[in-house]
A and B are shown apart, each in its own frame.
Chain A
Amino acid sequence: MTGRGREGSAGGPRNGRRGIDSPGVDARAVPIGRRLGLTLAVASLLGVLAFGWPLLVGEGAVLSDATSAPLVLGLVVAAALAVLGVGFGDGGIDVKAIAVLGLLTAIGAILRPLAAGTGGIETVFVLIVLGARVFGPGFGFLLGTTTLLASALLTGGVGPWLPFQMLGAGWVGLGAGLLPRRARGVGELAMLAGYGALAALGFGVLLNLSFWPFLLGTATEISFVAGDPVAENVRRFVLYSLTTSLPWDLGRLITTAAGIAVAGYAVLATLRRAARRAAFGPPAEPVPPRLTTAGAPPPTGPADR
């Protein structure tokens, strides 16, 4: 690193590197244009159907079978994720965003097994929320999906639940990236911790919902009944959640919020330093004015998409 450390840290004013309070450094490493936004919206709608199917399914519908529905819907969600992946990748992604995504995904993948097994402790959302905060909503969505995918691949956890988990974590990242950009300091951490808590709970509830009939079958009093009024099914679902996954959901909620509160400042500072060094985004290149002295080369940049 001799020499590199100093020279490589270009792009930011040398005195502005203290702490995380310097405004305007958060990047949009993977920009979401209008067309990609539309794709994302439709895919999310599909996701809502897939997650909420026990509440939506009508009596006598093709998918009212509790065992095969999550499999079919898992396949549908997986396909939707692949379609989104094509949308994100079409026309290329900034190579720096790919590398940062890969490395953060790896960090997330080591966070999961480190925390798994101890009831409800789930630290991966801390990284997804903070990463999305610094690198923007598009990156956050990708980070959520790739983290869950990579950790499933590494631990052999691929199953019908994986597409649901990927989409859910992607939403968590997307939402974190869309939070108000202004907040900084303690307010920012509080906002992120609060969001993290809600997101972690929501993630748990949604996954629970889509696999409720799968795991419980139809022969109990708190099972879903296809075609029942939504309110009735919701009541049974709440009872089911309370009796089964509540401790885990609460644990996930608490660990996410506490993780963001404890490690948030340092992690944000680290991520922002990286974002500054990477200098994402098309307008971040101050070169062209003097570059064009001889001839007129096209203003190609590292992020020419």
Chain B
Amino acid sequence: MAVIEGPVARAEATPARGRGLHPLAWWAWAAGIAVAITRTQNPLVIALLLAAVVLVVTVCRDESPWARAFGAYLILGLVVVAVRVAFYVVVGLPDSSPVLIDLPTVPLPDWVDSLTLLGPVHTAGLLGAIYAGLRLAALIITFGAANALANPKRALRSVPASLHHLSTAVVIAVTVTPQLFTAVGRVRRAQRLRGLDARGPRAFAGRLIPVLQDALDRSLDLAASMDSRGYARGTTPGGGRHVTAALVVALVAGVLGTYALLDGAAPAWLGAVGLGVGAVVAVAASVRAGRRVDRTRYRPDPWGLRENLVAGCGIVAATAVVLGGWLDPGTLSAGLTPPTWPTLNVAGVVAALAAIAPATIGGGRR
């Protein structure tokens, strides 16, 4: 088997233990930057944050497949900007700013009333579309950065005990998928031996069935092996009445909170309170449910100084932008009518510096 395996076999490299940061540290950093990006409309700040994120990824990422996916996020970001601009040009709403290009209006049949295609392109609208697109792209790329830097397999090890069973299923899936990829290639080669060289959905299905059968047969072996190794031995059988009740309460609070956030008439605090109460109850229920799963962890990923620093950078970035906007609302956006160069204040610089700092702390390159 070893010799004839295709190149897909080596799809991933698992980093050695004890190297690299705790994956949740990267997520905390990215979340902080995402908050910062959503709290400002200043394109200069956003561009700085974006540059910081890209730089950190370039310095800190390794050779894993999810790290390689970062390029796709950059492309996606460009696409988002392009889509925004294209939609503005085609079906944008007019405003009072100077007209940049006066495109002819395309007449539409009557049944699509109140829609005009093309027409004059205004400076403010166009700039707004570009800025908004940039902001969106920066958000998406920030998520891509977290994906690229945090090893998802290690992130799964940090799941709370109450989600132990489901996370086990996901761990199995994530572990087995590369092997199944290899199996698909193996079956395809074997079926060519049989003279089956067809393309199309039927051939694809024929190739999938043996892999599916293998996987299912294997799942029973796996279950037997897990069972014999004591899996779920420490789980108290039967659900807890209190836990379920608490879960329902948490969800109801969540529904109310969300509704309050969406309803214009509701007071602003109601949503936050609803969601907060829901979160607290849910965490309590999760802790209680987790106590019913008696297991320990072998060498859990340590959360040390470097993790604190990286997560802290995210928090600083978010705080700086929020505070900066609160103290000086003018710096939160760039003027569109007339277009003015956005101003950069201290808060923006601090946020960008905080965002870029993990490049020096989090270098987990092997």
Contacts and interface: CB of A to CB of B under 8 A. Distances in A.
- Physical interaction between A and B: yes
A62 B261 contact: yes
Interface stretch (A16-24, A172-180, A185-193, A217-225): A217-225
Interface string B159-196: 00011111011111110110011001000000000000
- Chain B at the A interface: mostly helix, strand, loop or mixed? helix
A165 to B, nearest CB: 13
Nearest to A259: B201
B345 interface: no
- Measured as residues with beta carbon below 8 angstroms from the partner, the interface class of chain B is 35 or more
Interface string B38-70: 100000000000000000000000000111111
B147 interface: yes
Interface string A91-109: 1110110111111111101
Given A79-B254, A85-B163, A102 B38 contact: no
Contact of A98 (B136, B155, B226, B285): B226
Interface residues of A, number: 99
A34 to B, nearest CB: 9
Interface in B133-150: 135-136, 139-140, 143-144, 146-148
B162 A239 contact: no
Interface in A263-305: 263, 266-267, 270-271, 273-274, 277-278, 302, 304-305
B165 A93 contact: yes
A230 interface: no
B248 interface: yes
A91 B292 contact: yes
Contacts of A93: 165-166
Among B140, B235, B251, residue most surrounded by chain A Cβ atoms (within 10 Å):
B251
A199 interface: no
A150 B173 contact: yes
Given A107-B211, A156-B144, A60 B264 contact: yes
B180 A106 contact: yes
Nearest to B254: A46
B217 interface: yes
B244 A305 contact: no
A208 to B, nearest CB: 13
A125 interface: no
B273 to A, nearest CB: 12
Interface stretch (B110-118, B313-321, B323-331): B110-118
Interface stretch (B81-89, B99-107, B303-311): B81-89
Contacts of B84: 215-217
A178 B327 CA distance: 55
A82 interface: yes
Given A58-B264, A63-B261, A221-B93, A83 B251 contact: yes
B120 to A, nearest CB: 13
Contacts of A221: 91-93, 114-116
Interface string A27-61: 00000010110110011011001100100111111
A183 interface: no
Contact of A220 (B91, B166, B236, B268): B91
B25 interface: no
B215 A90 contact: no
Interface of A: 8, 33, 35-36, 38-39, 42-43, 45-46, 49-50, 53, 56-65, 67-68, 71-73, 76, 79-80, 82-93, 95-96, 98-107, 109-111, 114, 142, 146-147, 149-150, 153-160, 214-217, 219-223, 226-227, 239, 258-259, 262-263, 266-267, 270-271, 273-274, 277-278, 302, 304-305
19 contacts: A38-B248, A39-B244, A58-B263, A86-B282, A86-B285, A86-B289, A87-B239, A99-B172, A99-B223, A102-B172, A103-B216, A106-B173, A153-B155, A156-B72, A159-B143, A160-B143, A217-B87, A239-B115, A302-B227
